[in-house]
Structure 1
Amino acid sequence: MKHLSVAAVTVAALLLATASPATAAGATAVGDVRQAMKTLAETPGVVGAIGGVYVDGKLAGQGTAGSRLLNGQGGTIPVGSRFYIGSQTKQMVGTVLLRLVEEGRLALDDKLADLLPEVADGDLVERADEITVQQLIQHTSGIPDWWSRGGSEPAFDVFDFTTYYRPIDIVKTTRGLPRTGEPGKEFAYSNTNYTLIGMIIERVTGGTLAGELDRRLFRPLGMTRTYALTKPPEGIKGPHGHGYYPDSTGTLRDMHRANASWGFGAGNIVSTTHDVSAFQRAFNQGKLLPPSLQKVLAGPPRSAKQSTGQCADDLQMQGGSGLGYTTLILYSTDGRQQFEMSVTRSTTDDSAIIPAMVKAGQAVLCPTGVA
């Protein structure tokens, strides 16, 4: 899935971040979520927006705006609706892998070639005998990204909603692409890292990635409306917002049943504002991993204040962006506050949408600190 960075907002993809507690962590006042979503929905290219804010695990406000379908059709997105979380999937998948490390079932310095010998055969993944588990988690493996392949889309047909792509098939699409760096030397975001992590989880546990996510995270955390997509033609269950992407003729196509099999491990989870917030709260409160392993998932610090020069220093962000949708969560690093948003789009360009989402998050989590 596209990446808003492993700890930094960029138009292309995911975002993970950490920082030290500051003023907002001790505050509990929140702004008007409905008004924030209304303002967000007025951003060009936004079809619909949904958001929910939680303080100390309790709902403190929620709202939707725009429409469920294109051109103002279908009414508003119902509150509590599910949506694709895109690359927010990665923190959850990475957490499952690190819990296996904590259990002693593998180690951070284990080599990819030893864990998945099939990807070393024929140099399907070059230098697999040098790449470690930790490098996959932290995007320092140098493995090229299957998403972009040097462009803006995957190598496969994004409008093929029925073909099942095995994880190994996705990895194969990167064969022959130039590496992005030496193993362990520099950060280069690649969805392929997390496709491989999903494969490792299945190899080590003998179960499915979807089953391990459910057993280790979703059920224990009360994420009852969250699930991992596995094979098409799955989609989002229940009423939800629809995102759109243009085909070769420029016609906008509904992507609400996009083929998520190619997002295995990297962006194949469907969730809600409540459930994503529950995971983020548990993660930040140290309930899922010991501190030494939690730090492995922490990328370079990036705060909401650093993004726009506004709001409290301790508000961090994590998000994801795909074909027709963008998600973003702003949260306090002490685990007390989370504000998760989802936007459905009718544009390929979310460069204006992401800053608008950040501003909406600031307006809700530090209403007295936004200019």
Structure 2
Amino acid sequence: MKFPLAPGGRPGSLGAGLPGLGASPLGGGDRLAAFTDFAPNPGALAAHAYVPDDLEPGAALVVVLHGCTQNAAGYDHGSGWSWLAERHGFALLFPEQARANNPNLCFNWFQPKDTARGQGEAASIAAMIGAMAERHGIDPARVHVTGLSAGGAMASAMLAAYPELFASGAIIAGLPHGVAAGVPQALDAMAGRAVPDADTLGGRVRAASNHAGPWPRVSVWQGDADSTVTARNGAAVAAQWRHVHGLGEAAAVTEPIGPHRRTAWTDAEGRAAIELYEIAGMGHGVPLNPGTGEGEAGTAGAHMLDAGIDSTGRIAAFFGVGPEAAAGTAAAKARAAKAKPVKPNKVPAPTAKIVPLPRPAAKRAEPEQPSEPSGVQAVIEKALKAAGLM
């Protein structure tokens, strides 16, 4: 069964709120193709894909989830994923949100009906993965997922609801699975309020499916000056997956990378099962080392931040789809060492902010709100005004 593209989601189009993102050799624009041959699609999502011409049987697949107000092409352009896929021979799948589902184009990571196994957007993404694997001969043991912001939170949900599908995941400025079941809880979670302890967080992952392991490896990226999804969330995501893997708080590796810090917890084989990158001085976005050389990828822009560290290349190496050199060349380390802590991007567009909105269909029949909102409604409107949506 074929499904139509979401509004504004034609191949090569760039969404509103993404200033300066056009086609480039780094990815984006016309590099992605619409992917419609998947079913079921209970979440009513669109999808795009990038498959190198010479893709070999048994290749890997990386699923990439954009942030709010973004689309697949814009996120690919900024992050550089299709450039790496072409260079190293793996396929990409970009699920894409529709305004009919969420007016701000956020994946609905805070709605249980969209994050539970077999339901909503999570089920649509799982169906896309199955269809891509069948069509392109993907090795089912080499499927990975990553995302930014709302996409990072949705990556958390996919790793929890469908852990058997993924070898590993990477969560950038996202949230732990199961911390919200509605808008008020989502806003609290983003602000770092009432974050559950590791035991509770780990239990929510285990309760999301009947999976008994092995569990996906997880890479976590968080700016320590992020005021949209506060730094406490990065530590909570790492704690959630440490608990699932049965790892203690003591880290096996703590290393500086210029002004930044990487902490890793290893499994019985000595591999990093969980890693946490804390990016000094960075606000809300993807940390990049822009360019096309070793240890470089992507293009700086709105919420694509030049931090002197190549998160795309390092995540690819963590997934096993890119060379270790991409994650730690001497040149990249030298540049990172010289880099000043990155300042939050000052572009006024609310790109990639998680501003969770309920599905409009569920709200049409409700009475009009008072002219002077209070309580939960006041909190919601405050968040929308801060994002420039009201």
Structure with the bigger RCO (C-alpha within 8 Å, sep 6+) is 1
TM range (shorter): under 0.3
TM-score, normalised to structure 2's length? Answer: 0.25
